[in-house]
Structure 1
């Protein structure tokens, strides 16, 4: 039996910005180690030029050290493979900013857009960390409600949502869109729902009609006509590399009924517009 080869169907599709990339591993499940180098190699192997990267360490253990690991990756610091051995050092912030400034001056297109992660179990600390990240130039934060055991109705979620919206930050959030739209409603918030399942797509479309800042990832929209049902300016490519198979989302996008300019928007144009 010949193995299925998706490469011919994916063709020359290139993703210019993937909004759902993680570094690190889940301690309670099997999976890849998620080292910075291995994650970047996986993206490159699938023609994904840039990833919006968040830290599982920040989500599960320590916000500051995990976020500093991602900032170091964005600055091109290969030492990020050491997974935060020196992360959290205040003296490192100036170095990170200097490296990031160098990238901006040279016009180099980095492989990483840093996404800050906050712990919804600590709403006061989360807002403090958002302020620090915003000062460092981070444009997006990521929420992990399922991993942190937080429900949409918890006060911490609305507290963080208000803070992010007030600073103009993009929020990338997990969780069931049928519940997690509520803390962001009425805030003029820019939100990407990373876990929108095609079974729940109708619910997303209903709430998004009243919220121009609501967007969804492609990752779980793999049924026929799912991508085609979403307004193309509200759809962003997300793979959840390395904890999900990137080729699934690539194949669905490449074989969709979207026009070439719409595919380009989904494959990174929309994300670049949101993240500046």
Structure 2
């Protein structure tokens, strides 16, 4: 009798704990809203895509779309070989043509001058909606006039410019802020939302009060940084920043294969955001921005 009573009390204690701590008894979150991952590096083309999908499926995920890049890290496109860049862009565009879930993210190098502008116009004609530029690994200066000419051309063609913003280089966010002001006809997505310098972007609400500085052309992907912020001492400030820059300006990104989509979604789910805000970040904002 005593043993039965002890077991009953233990059961009641577990139920009470679960009610007070729902995460303790909950299974991994199931997302009933579409997921679009803007930041996927396919270093080995179709094989990398199969591996990405297998990893997602093993975590119970089936993203409706992904922004696919053939480059990243040591594979980044360098200046001086526009023919190689063209060939790689064509391979990516060809792969995406047979897979409606894949949005090809091509690239050029601003220091290739007219060749880069010509390639940008060519790939835009082939349906490319986004290009990715990475100042650190492509070794270009964000203040260089050749970059400004390139991103302004992208704006004229309706091509979104995705740029690294992990603050690997000092002054990264400040330089990108200035670029977005000088090219307000171009839509930018700044990847990693500034890394651990995400605080800088809280300037946007103030900047937008200035006449002629709506800065509605600035978006962010939260890849990487969301993993650092979730369940950390800076989480509350990170959420405050997300709302300051505007929930409608945020896009999900994993930065695969360096980071996984499952871990990114789990980190986002931990943030103190509403279900509606999370749904916009998971896929709603990307579908609107890219006309998907």
- Superposition TM-score, scaled by structure 1 size: 0.75
SS in 1 for 2:132: strand
Identify which of 195, 201, 204 aligns with 1:204: 201
Identify which of 242, 249, 252 aligns with 2:264: 249
**1:35 alignment partner in structure 2:** 48
**2:161 alignment partner in structure 1:** 171
Highest RCO, 1 vs 2 (Cα 8 Å, sep ≥ 6): 1
C-alpha contact (below 8 Å) 1:36/1:73 kept by paired residues: no
SS in 1 for 2:192: coil
What are the residue-to-residue correspondences of 1:96-245 with 2, within 5 Å?
110-175=100-165, 176-188=172-184, 189-207=186-204, 209=208, 210=213, 211-219=215-223, 220-221=225-226, 222-223=228-229, 224-225=235-236, 226-230=238-242, 231-245=246-260
SS in 2 for 1:181: helix
Distance 1:135 1:116 in 2: 12
SS in 1 for 2:110: coil
**1:20 alignment partner in structure 2:** 39
Q: State the structure with more CA Rg.
A: 2
Q: Deviations over 1:53-75 (max 9, x none)?
A: 11215725731121112112212
Question: Structure 1: which 5+ residue stretches go unaligned?
Answer: 26-31, 78-109
- Superposition TM-score, scaled by structure 2 size: 0.71
C-alpha contact (below 8 Å) 2:40/2:67 kept by paired residues: yes
> Per the alignment, do residues 69 and 248 of structure 1 end up closer, same or farther by CA in structure 2, a change over 3 Å counting?
same
> Per the alignment, do residues 144 and 251 of structure 1 end up closer, same or farther by CA in structure 2, a change over 3 Å counting?
same
Distance 1:33 1:275 in 2: 23
The structure carrying a bigger helix percent of its residues is 2
Identify which of 275, 280, 291 aligns with 1:260: 275
Q: Cα RMSD over matched residues? A: 2.7
C-alpha deviation, 1:24, in angstroms: 0.7
SS in 2 for 1:21: strand
C-alpha deviation, 1:23, in angstroms: 1.2
> Per the alignment, do residues 38 and 9 of structure 1 end up closer, same or farther by CA in structure 2, a change over 3 Å counting?
closer
Distance 1:213 1:151 in 2: 21
Q: Deviations over 1:226-264 (max 9, x none)?
A: 145312101110111112233332122111222112111
C-alpha deviation, 1:171, in angstroms: 0.9
